[in-house]
Amino acid sequence: MKIWVDADACPKVIKEILYRAAQRAEIITTLVANQPLTIPRSPWIKST
């Protein structure tokens, strides 16, 4: 399973929940945005 998130429209609180869930469940989560994002270092979290 992979999760794709529209990071431009997603509230910060929800992104933080997604970061924790991705780590805990070991699910690849990709955040898509028009601008650079600050994301935690993790093999499970990526941004494009």
pLDDT the model gives residue 20? 97
pLDDT the model gives residue 13? 97
Number of structural domains found in the chain:
1
Q: 32 lies in which domain range? A: 2-47
**Count of C-beta atoms within a 10 Å radius of residue 28:** 14
Prediction pTM value: 0.86
Alpha-carbon Rg for the chain, nearest whole angstrom, is: 10
Q: Which residue has the tokens 């780590």?
A: 23
Question: What are the tens digits of pLDDT across the range 1-48?
Answer: 999 999 999 999 999 999 999 999 999 999 999 999 999 999 999 999
